[in-house]
Structure formats: structure tokens, C-alpha cells
Amino acid sequence: MEIKDIDIFEGGKRPFVIAGPCSAESEEQVMAVASSLATMGVGLFRAGIWKPRTRPGCFEGVGARGLEWLANVKKEYSMPVTTEVATAVHVEAALAAGIDVLWVGARTVTNPFAVQEIAEALRGVDVPVLVKNPVNPDIDLWVGAFERLYNCGVSRLGAIHRGFSAYGEKFYRNAPQWQIPLELKNRFPHLFLVCDPSHIAGKSELVQELAQQAMDLNFDALMVEVHHEPACALSDARQQITPAALGTILSGLVHRSSSGEDEEFAAFRNRIDAIDKELVALLAKRMEVSREIGSVKREKGVTVFQPFRYKETMERCALMGARHNLDSDVVKEVFEAIHSESIRQQLLIVNGEKNV
């Protein structure tokens, strides 16, 4: 793919800022948010009109009548506008209303039929499209969406990283798994990379640190959900921030300056850091399971250490390592350390948290 630059995103300062409410709720709300953002250097105004809600009965967006409000934002404040499209009908309506940039949402990207339909509707139309990552951490599904659009002649493409969903208790609404967008950038260095800290965070108080992390990882832009009264928002109330809070976040961003030489290494280092972060999270998860099995062992009166299981684990890991061309001594050392910590954790459980 020969991905082309998107002129709207060119020339300004880093990060390029896309902001606006999760959903367009009323003309007054849209204009109220837009009037604040217009003075803050926001380069693209966002608002969802067709909302893909997880459960029925939630606010599903105002529909096509919201397009007029976006057209008013564009006219009144000279700010380009963007909205989410999920069907060919949405695409046609958005284009007819003069929407400058379209985005494809995370749920839609998981469905190749839907992406193909959108791509076909865009054949012969020169509009930039931003593609959110699919809700599941599948980079090929994400790439597939770019390819479907590109094959229909859409070459001004950008990616929005909004995190990945996971089951159970979680700190972020959607796990960042930074290594996935960084791998995407590695495969397509020309791709404009946007981070959506709002949907990763799920909570307004986490937006700032995620925005900073995105900057540290060299993202080009931020897409932030902003509402003039977040508590009253009809969707994603918990993660939206006020225009004033956005101002604080933007002015507080630390910009990492790197010399030309450093830049050459930055992309590699970012990927390494992201993988390390993931490794630590995985290790923590493994220890959590160790503690769980520890309490079952305690209940059932089973010994913590079982030589047969230990031997089998080490052999299995050595084999997996060999398949990935990893040095067998290194694999052995790493898994011995993991296993010994796992045993320590289980002993803590079995002995009722007494020091081991």
C-alpha cells in the first residue's frame, strides 16, 4: 500500500488534536463544545451521530440530523469535522453533508463485510479515513481494513489506537497493548497514528497519563472525547473531559526532544519498551494464577511442588523456545526464575501469607 498524507493533518504542531463529544446530542451541545475547542488549536472536531452501543436501549445517536450540526461547526468555526460511519448509507449521508474526514469504529472494523461495504461506498471518493483498531487485538484484521479501503481507492488513511477489550476486572476500559499500534507503524511507516486515550482510559482521570504515554511513543495525534458537561453526557460520560481539562492536558504535555541520531533508534526503543511492559503484565497475571492454584492446593491438601509437573513445564518451554530460535540456556534460566517465584507465591498462600 502506498498510503498518502492527509493535508488536514499537515504542518501544525505535534500532537495534532482531534476533539469533541462522544456523541452529538443536540445542536446546542455540539455548538457549545465546538465554540470552546475552536479557540484551543483543535484541528478536527469529532462527534458520533450513529453510535454502536454494546447493549440495546442505550443512546444510539441522533442519526443523520446531526450532520447538519457538524456542517454548522465547520461553517461557524472553520474547523474541519469528522464522524463515525458504519454502513454505506452513513457514508453517503456524511459525504453529502461535507464531512471532511470519516472514521470507522472499533466494532465495525472487526467485521470484514461491513468494512467492505464502507470501502465500496467510498470508491472514487477522495476523502481521508481514520480506522480504529478492532476491539480484539488482531493486527491483521486492522491491516485488512486498510487494505479493503485502499483497494477501493482510498489512499489517505490514518489509524486510531483505542485499546483492546478484555474480559474481567481491568484497570483500563480497553488495554493499551502499545506494541500493536507500534507494530502497525513499523509495517506502514507513513501511516498517520492517532491515540484515543479516552476509550483506552474509560475514566476521565486516566486520560492525561495515556495522552503523555502516546506522545512518548511518538504518536502523531490525539483524539479526545470532550463534553461541556461530562456528567450529563448521553454516552461515555465517565471518560469525557471538559474543554478546560483538555486545555490543561495539552499545555502539560511533555515533549520529548530527540536528536536526529536518536530518532533512528526511537522506533526500536519504543517497541522494546512496549513489549517489556506487556511482559511484566503477563508475569503479574501468571503469578495471580499461581496464587489461585495455591489456594486450591491448600483446600485439597496437595503439595505445592510437584516434580513431575516442574519437569514437564521446563521441557515444554524449552521446546517452544527452540521453535522460536531462542537459546535453550536462556529459556531455562528465565523459566526457573518464574517457576521459583510461582512456588514462593503458592507457599505464601498455603502458609497463610507468612513470610517465605
- Which chain residues interact with ligand PEP by CB under 6 A? 22, 48, 52, 105-107, 132, 162, 199
Cβ contact 48:22 at 8 Å: yes
Q: What is the number of H-type helices and E-type strands within the chain?
A: 13, 8
Q: Is the dihedral of CA 224, 227, 230, 233 positive or negative?
A: negative
| Residue 102 or 331 having the CB closest to ligand PEP | 102
Residue recorded with cell 481539562:
245
Q: Is the dihedral of CA 62, 158, 155, 44 positive or negative?
A: positive
| Residue 46 or 148 having the CB closest to Mn ion | 46
Choose the stretch contacting Mn ion; rule: CB under 5 A; options: 16-24, 92-100, 166-174, 268-276: 16-24
Q: What count of other Cβ atoms lies within 10 Å of the Cβ of residue 21? A: 27
Smallest distance, Mn ion to C-beta of residue 24, A: 12
- Residue nearest ligand PEP (C-beta atom): 105
Smallest distance, ligand PEP to C-beta of residue 343, A: 41
Q: Residue 197 binds which entry of ligand PEP, Mn ion, none, with Cβ cut-offs from 5 to 8 Å by kind?
A: none
| Residues with Cβ within 8 Å of residue 69, at least 6 apart in sequence | 24, 27, 30, 31, 47
Which is it for strands 81-84 and 221-225: parallel, antiparallel or unpaired? unpaired
Please report the DSSP string for 82-151 in residue order.
EEE--SHHHHHHHHHTT-SEEEE-HHHHT-HHHHHHHHHHTTT----EEEEPPSS--HHHHHHHHHHHHH
Q: Helices 328-350 & 307-323, crossing angle to 10 degrees? A: 140
| Residue 48 or 321 having the CB closest to ligand PEP | 48
Interacting residue with Mn ion among 22, 121, 195, 331 (CB under 5 A): 22
Smallest distance, ligand PEP to C-beta of residue 254, A: 26
Smallest distance, ligand PEP to C-beta of residue 239, A: 9
If one asks whether residue 220 binds Mn ion (CB under 5 A), the answer comes out as no
| Residue 138 or 341 having the CB closest to ligand PEP | 138
Q: What count of other Cβ atoms lies within 10 Å of the Cβ of residue 282? A: 10
**Rounded Cα distance, 354 and 296, in Å:** 18
Smallest distance, ligand PEP to C-beta of residue 319, A: 39
Smallest distance, ligand PEP to C-beta of residue 194, A: 11
Q: Residue 106 binds which entry of ligand PEP, Mn ion, none, with Cβ cut-offs from 5 to 8 Å by kind?
A: ligand PEP
Smallest distance, Mn ion to C-beta of residue 14, A: 24
Binding-site string for Mn ion from residue 58 to residue 97, where x marks contact by CB under 5 A and - marks none: ----------------------------------------
- What 3-state class would DSSP assign to 16? strand
| Residue 106 or 122 having the CB closest to ligand PEP | 106
In this structure, which amino acid lies at residue 246? Answer: L
**Nearest Cα to 270, choosing from 195, 177, 182, 188?**
182
**Rounded Cα distance, 20 and 205, in Å:** 17
| Residue 204 or 290 having the CB closest to Mn ion | 204
| Residue 107 or 271 having the CB closest to ligand PEP | 107
Q: Residue 185 binds which entry of Mn ion, ligand PEP, none, with Cβ cut-offs from 5 to 8 Å by kind?
A: none
Cis bond upstream, residue 80 (ω within 30): no
Smallest distance, Mn ion to C-beta of residue 225, A: 5
H or E segment and range at residue 186: helix 179-187
| Residue 6 or 135 having the CB closest to ligand PEP | 135
Smallest distance, ligand PEP to C-beta of residue 22, A: 5
Interacting residue with Mn ion among 25, 196, 220, 236 (CB under 5 A): 236
Judged by the rule CB under 5 A, the positions of this chain that interact with Mn ion are 22, 236
